[in-house]
Amino acid sequence: MQNSYLTPYHIVDFSPVYAQQVSELYHMAIQHIRHPRYPQAKLDAWSSSPRSSKFWQLKYQRNRAWLAVDSTQQVIGFISVETHFKQQGYIDCLYVAPAWQHQGIARALYLQLQAWVQQQRYPVLSVDASYLSKGLFEQHGFVLKQVSYQHKLGQTFNGFYMQKTLINNLVTGH
């Protein structure tokens, strides 16, 4: 957990009471992307409106998620990792509210996830990184395995399937 005296936020485990905020943050973060690779048609295919609270509650019954929460208990970022099946260790979400981006929140969330994964002794972490998140994962030792493509509502999303091997089940900070 972040020391609230040093940062204006702290990291907590996902709780169903935050599901609506997670839904709104996810949608808002996507709709505020301003990048040539993401025209409005792609943003709308990615998230045309917030998903239901129930969607996030069910998703995080199966997976592990952490939230960055500000001093007013508003969710300002979140990250999650698959904990079951063959996708164990797959980071499936990492989003930060637009007003809070570029302040180290994504890194803090990733480091929280990494510490938990180390305790679980997962052998590998993987992620389908976007153009926007690829650099963060590279900074933390992820290696590109292949370019990935996802299709949704007539739009093609290019991504980067990346992995990080956790040598001897120890996770390093890079």
pLDDT digit string, tens, across residues 122-171 = 999 999 999 999 999 999 999 999 998 888 888 888 899 999 998 654 44
Sequence length of the chain is 174
Domain that holds residue 41: 9-169
Q: Is there a domain that residue 159 lies in?
A: yes
Please enumerate in sequence order all residues whose Cβ is within 8 A of that of 101, keeping only pairs 6 or more positions apart, or say none.
none
Average pLDDT over the chain, rounded to whole? Answer: 89
50, 68, 38, 46: which is closest to 132 by C-alpha?
38
Residue found by looking up tokens 């480091």 in the block: 111
* Phi, psi for 24 (deg, rounded to 5): -70, -40
Give yes or no for a contact between 127 and 90, defined as CB atoms under 8 angstroms apart. Answer: yes
* Phi, psi for 93 (deg, rounded to 5): -150, 140
Q: Is there a domain that residue 1 lies in?
A: no
Please enumerate in sequence order all residues whose Cβ is within 8 A of that of 59, keeping only pairs 6 or more positions apart, or say none.
65, 80
Domain count, the chain: 1
Q: Is there a domain that residue 4 lies in?
A: no
Q: Is there a domain that residue 95 lies in?
A: yes
Q: Is the pLDDT of residue 70 over 70?
A: yes
Of the pLDDT bands very low, low, confident and very high (cuts 50, 70, 90), residue 7 is: low
Question: Which pLDDT score is estimated for 43?
Answer: 94
Q: Is there a domain that residue 46 lies in?
A: yes
Of the pLDDT bands very low, low, confident and very high (cuts 50, 70, 90), residue 84 is: confident
Is the full-model pTM beyond 0.75? Answer: yes
Residue type, 17: V
Tokens of 66: 């952490």
Q: Is there a domain that residue 3 lies in?
A: no
Q: Is there a domain that residue 73 lies in?
A: yes
CATH number of the domain enclosing 126: 3.40.630.30
